[in-house]
Amino acid sequence: MRGVVRAAAYLPSYTDGAVRRCGADEDEFTLAATVLERALPRLPERSPLTVRLLGFRSPPSGAALSAVAGRPVTVEGAGEQVGSLAAALASLAASDRAECLIVARRLSRGEPPIDPADRGEGSAALVVDDGGDAIPLSTFRPTAPVRADPLTQLWAWLGGPGGLGSVGVGDWVAPVPARGQGAVPDLPDGPPYTVAEGAFVPAPRYQESLRSRWRFLADRCQACGERTFPSRGRCGRCGRTDALRDEPLPLDGAKVVASTWIGQGGQPTEFDPQVEATGPYGVVLAELEPGVRVTLPVADAEREQVSVGARVDTRLRRLYAIEGAWRYGRKAVPAPRRGEPPAPDGT
Amino acid sequence: MVHRAAIVGAGHSRFGVLPEGPRALLRTAVDGALATVDKGLDRGTIGRGYLATIGFGGWQIGNASAVLAEELRTPGLATVRVENACASGGFALQEAVHAVASGDVELALVAGLEKMTDVSSPRRRYWLGVSGDTEWERQAGLTFAGVYGLLASAYLARYRLAPEALAEVAVKNHANGALNPNAHFQKPIRREQALSSPKVADPLGLYDCCPVSDGAAAVVVAAADRARTYTDTPVYVEGVGAASDRLAVQERAELLGFPATRRAAEAAFRASGVRREEVSVVEAHDCFTIAELLALEDLGFSEPGGAGPLTLDGATRRDGRLPVNPDGGLKAKGHPIGATGVSQAYELFLQLRGQAGARQVAGARVGLAHNVGGAGATAAVAVLAAG
Contact B361, B318 (CB under 8 A): yes
- B287 in catalytic set: no
More confident residue, B354 or A138: B354
For B:199-218, CB contacts with A below 8 A are 199-204, 206
**Same domain (yes/no): A51, A149:** yes
Q: Residue A42 carries which DSSP code?
A: G
**Same domain (yes/no): A242, A262:** no
More confident residue, B187 or A24: B187
Quote the percentage of chain B above a pLDDT of 90.
Answer: 90
Q: Which residue on chain B is closest to A291 by alpha carbon?
A: B253
Confidence class of residue A182 from pLDDT cuts 50, 70 and 90? very low
**Same domain (yes/no): A34, A128:** yes
| Predicted local distance difference test score (pLDDT) of residue A337 | 76
Quote the percentage of chain A above a pLDDT of 90.
Answer: 21
- B98 in catalytic set: no
- Amino acid letter, B122: P
Q: Which of B122, B126, B250 sits opposite A295 (nearest CB)?
A: B250
Residues contacting residue A253 through CB under 8 Å, at least 6 positions apart: A311, A312, A313, A335
Per-residue pLDDT reduced to its tens digit, A205-229: 776 787 788 778 899 999 999 999 9
Residue finishing a domain among A229, A248, A267: A248
Average pLDDT of the residues in B32-57: 95
Average pLDDT of the residues in B335-344: 97
| Predicted local distance difference test score (pLDDT) of residue A35 | 62
What is the SS3 assignment for B172? helix
- Amino acid letter, A166: S
pLDDT at B357 over 90: yes
Confidence class of residue A200 from pLDDT cuts 50, 70 and 90? low
**Same domain (yes/no): A232, A98:** no
pLDDT at A75 over 90: no
pLDDT at A296 over 80: yes
| Predicted local distance difference test score (pLDDT) of residue A6 | 47
Average pLDDT of the residues in B117-139: 81
Domain assignments of chain B as residue spans, ordered by start: 5-120+211-386
**Same domain (yes/no): A89, A123:** yes
| Predicted local distance difference test score (pLDDT) of residue B342 | 98
pLDDT at A147 over 50: no
Contact B191, B167 (CB under 8 A): yes
Distances B254 to A106, A212, A290, B259, B375 between C-alpha atoms, Å: 41, 21, 12, 9, 12
| Predicted local distance difference test score (pLDDT) of residue A95 | 60
| Predicted local distance difference test score (pLDDT) of residue A215 | 78
Provide the residue range defining the domain that includes A37: 4-159
Average pLDDT, chain B: 95
Per-residue pLDDT reduced to its tens digit, B44-56: 999 999 999 998 8
More confident residue, B42 or A124: B42
Of B302, B206, B212, the residue nearest B257 (C-alpha): B302
**Same domain (yes/no): A222, A288:** no
Confidence class of residue A10 from pLDDT cuts 50, 70 and 90? very low
pLDDT at A27 over 70: no
| Predicted local distance difference test score (pLDDT) of residue A304 | 93
Per-residue pLDDT reduced to its tens digit, B130-164: 788 888 998 899 989 999 999 999 999 999 999 99
Confidence class of residue A202 from pLDDT cuts 50, 70 and 90? confident
Residue A169, domain member (yes or no): no
Distance CA(A274)–CA(A268), nearest Å, equals: 11
**Same domain (yes/no): A299, A241:** no
| Predicted local distance difference test score (pLDDT) of residue A203 | 66
Residue A197, domain member (yes or no): no
Smallest Cα distance from B209 to chain A, Å: 10
Average pLDDT of the residues in A150-179: 35
Quote the percentage of chain B above a pLDDT of 70.
Answer: 99
Angle at B287 between CA B284 and CA B289, to 5 degrees: 80
pLDDT at B13 over 80: yes
- Amino acid letter, B174: H
Average pLDDT of the residues in B178-200: 96
Dihedral (Cα; B349, B354, B359, B363), 10-degree rounding: 110
B146/A329 touch (CB, cutoff 8 Å), yes or no: no
Q: Which residues from chain B sit within 8 angstroms of residue A211, using beta carbons? A: none
Q: Give the sheet arrangement for strand B48-52, strand by strand.
A: B79-82, B48-52, B107-114, B215-223, B5-12, B235-244, B378-386, B366-373, B281-283
Lowest mean per-residue pLDDT among A175-179, A184-188, A335-339: A175-179
| Predicted local distance difference test score (pLDDT) of residue A107 | 35
Report the domain count for chain A. Answer: 3
What single string gives the DSSP state of each residue in A205-259? Answer: HHHHTHHHHTT-EEEEETTT--EESS--SS-TTT--SSSEEEEEPPSS-EEEEEE
Average pLDDT of the residues in A146-156: 43
**Same domain (yes/no): A139, A20:** yes
What are the respective helix, strand and coil percentages of chain B, to the nearest 5? 40, 20, 40
**Farthest-apart Cα atoms in chain B, separation:** 57
CB pairs < 8 Å spanning A and B: 136
| Predicted local distance difference test score (pLDDT) of residue A225 | 95
Of A44, A41, A33, the residue nearest A9 (C-alpha): A33
Residue A195, domain member (yes or no): no
Average pLDDT of the residues in B320-343: 98
Average pLDDT of the residues in A281-292: 95
Residue A192, domain member (yes or no): no
Contact B300, B215 (CB under 8 A): no
Q: Which residues from chain B sit within 8 angstroms of residue A268, using beta carbons? A: 125-126, 129, 138, 141-143
Confidence class of residue A40 from pLDDT cuts 50, 70 and 90? low
Q: What is the CATH number of the domain that holds A260?
A: 2.40.50
For B:76-135, CB contacts with A below 8 A are 120-123, 125-126, 129-130, 134-135
| Predicted local distance difference test score (pLDDT) of residue A71 | 80
Q: Which residues pair with B220 in a beta bridge?
A: B9, B109
Catalytic residue of the set B12, B86, B174, B210: B86
**Same domain (yes/no): A93, A123:** yes
Per-residue pLDDT reduced to its tens digit, B207-251: 999 999 999 999 999 999 999 999 999 999 999 999 999 999 999
| Predicted local distance difference test score (pLDDT) of residue A300 | 84
Confidence class of residue A16 from pLDDT cuts 50, 70 and 90? very low
Confidence class of residue A104 from pLDDT cuts 50, 70 and 90? low
Quote the percentage of chain A above a pLDDT of 70.
Answer: 45
Average pLDDT of the residues in B97-111: 97
B120/A197 touch (CB, cutoff 8 Å), yes or no: yes
Superfamily for domain range B5-120+211-386: Thiolase/Chalcone synthase (3.40.47.10)
pLDDT at B304 over 70: yes
For the whole model, what pTM was predicted?
Answer: 0.77
Average pLDDT of the residues in B320-349: 98
pLDDT at B309 over 70: yes
B294 interfacial to chain A (CB closer than 8 Å): no
Cα within 13 Å of Cα(A329), Cβ side: 25
| Predicted local distance difference test score (pLDDT) of residue A263 | 87
Distance CA(B71)–CA(A109), nearest Å, equals: 68
B201/A197 touch (CB, cutoff 8 Å), yes or no: no
Average pLDDT, chain A: 64
Q: Which residues pair with A258 in a beta bridge?
A: A285
**Same domain (yes/no): A329, A227:** no
Element (H, E) at B378: strand B378-386
Confidence class of residue A77 from pLDDT cuts 50, 70 and 90? low
| Predicted local distance difference test score (pLDDT) of residue A92 | 59
